[in-house]
Amino acid sequence: MLVAQISDTHIATADPGAGSRLSDLRRTVDAINRLSPAPDVVLHTGDVVHDATAEDYAAARLALSRLAAPLLATVGNRDRRPAFRRAFDFSACGANGGDGEFVQYAADVAGVRLVAADTFDGGSKLGGYCAGRAERLTQLVGAAAGRPILLFLHHPPVPLPEIYGPSLQFRDASEADLLAGVIARAPGVVGVIAGHVHRSRSSSVGGVPLSTMGSIAADLNFDELPDSRRGRPVFHLHRIESGMISTASVGV
Ligand SMILES: [Fe+2]
């Protein structure tokens, strides 16, 4: 099972200074489409757009529609759930984008249960979580029927070293703990992948490996890259095999 991860595309159609972000996304889509073997799915871990306008989502959707592999996505702090839902249709993977208020859902692809968690917090750019989301997430991971589970979300619910701002990017540490507790109790979670910090970091949550990635928007990517890669998008490729996850950074 191969998963291509993209994140933090921050499409901003009204900002003339952000025009490179659409071309960054298009180049990334082209590079993912050229992969051999092809990924089974592409996961976007949020901040699809920057200002959440209909125009931003339309531009992002058009660029992402050229992906040969099916796409699943979840919301970042820059997204807005109603516009996000109008923009994306995950039915090709048998997913509905989440019941009720939150963008939490599962899709079973190539023998792996992919579970989106929604860490959007209406009051800040940091992450948030709540009892309702934890209950629904528990149901989604509990219905894996023995499949390995890959959880994808925007805000990593654990402290990370050497990032911009607080090491824990949740407004309330108890809400991060609530999410981490669901992960710790769920059998079969092989990995948690996140965005938000615009940097590649690795850690663990509830005994499960966790990784973050830089932003596909190269102007917002804070990873320290070699000269040959600077100013170009870098995406992640995850292989899930024998109940383990391994990850590579792929330059575009
Ligand atoms: Fe972001």
Give the tens place of pLDDT for each residue, 192-250: 999 999 999 999 999 999 999 999 999 999 999 999 889 999 999 999 999 999 999 99
Asked if 9 and 217 touch (Cβ cutoff 8 Å), the reply is yes
pLDDT the model gives residue 195: 98
Residue 151 alpha carbon to ligand 1 centre in Å: 18
Residue 49 alpha carbon to ligand 1 centre in Å: 9
User: Does pLDDT of 99 surpass 80?
Assistant: no
Residue 79 alpha carbon to ligand 1 centre in Å: 10
pTM of the model: 0.98
In 88-201, alpha helices (H):
131-142, 173-185
User: Does pLDDT of 149 surpass 90?
Assistant: yes
Mean pLDDT of 109-130: 97
In the sheet that 208-212 helps form, which strands lie side by side, from edge to edge? 105-109, 112-116, 149-152, 189-194, 208-212, 201-205
Asked if 153 and 119 touch (Cβ cutoff 8 Å), the reply is yes
pLDDT the model gives residue 96: 83
User: Does pLDDT of 152 surpass 90?
Assistant: yes
pLDDT the model gives residue 100: 81
What is the tally of helices (H) and strands (E) in the chain? Answer: 5, 11
- Structural domains of the chain, with CATH: 2-251 (3.60.21.10)
Residue 10 alpha carbon to ligand 1 centre in Å: 7
Q: What is the DSSP letter of 223?
A: S
Residue 217 alpha carbon to ligand 1 centre in Å: 9
Mean pLDDT of 179-192: 97
Residue 241 alpha carbon to ligand 1 centre in Å: 29
User: Does pLDDT of 119 surpass 80?
Assistant: yes
Question: Can you list the positions of beta strands (E) in the chain?
Answer: 2-6, 41-44, 71-73, 105-109, 112-116, 149-152, 189-194, 201-205, 208-212, 234-241, 244-251
pLDDT the model gives residue 135: 96
- Give the confidence band of 2 by pLDDT, cuts at 50, 70, 90: very high
pLDDT the model gives residue 92: 85
- Give the confidence band of 78 by pLDDT, cuts at 50, 70, 90: very high
